[in-house]
Amino acid sequence: MLELLDQLGPRTAELDQAVKTEAERRPEAVELMKHKGVGSVTAWAFVLTLGPVERFRHSRQVVSYLGLKRPRVRRGSIPNCAVSINA
């Protein structure tokens, strides 16, 4: 097991460097990396996932595309509530 870890270490470093290099070539990724906590892996994954951002008119479309939009809740309703009260 330790031998396997020793073999994977250099390969992981090599792949990390490749991701960093590719991210630094894309202006979109570079812009994302300016935000605190966003590194090359996150920025590169985001760019690859979204593709050309010009296809989105509004930021809320990006949020929906990524599945991050919260469902709209009507006043007084409790969505996905499986509690039943027997009186």
d(CA 9, CA 56): 39
User: What's the mean per-residue pLDDT of the chain?
Assistant: 85
Domain membership of residue 78 (yes or no) is no
Number of domains in the chain: 1
Does the residue 87 lie in any domain? no
Task: Read off the pTM.
Answer: 0.65
Find all residues with CB under 8 Å of 61, minimum gap 6, and list them.
none
DSSP class of residue 53 equals G
In this predicted structure, what is the pLDDT of residue 79? 60
75 or 62: which leads in pLDDT: 62
Distance CA 6, CA 60 (A): 44
- The residue segments making up the domain with residue 35 are 2-65
Give the span between the Cα atoms of 45 and 84, in whole angstroms. 42
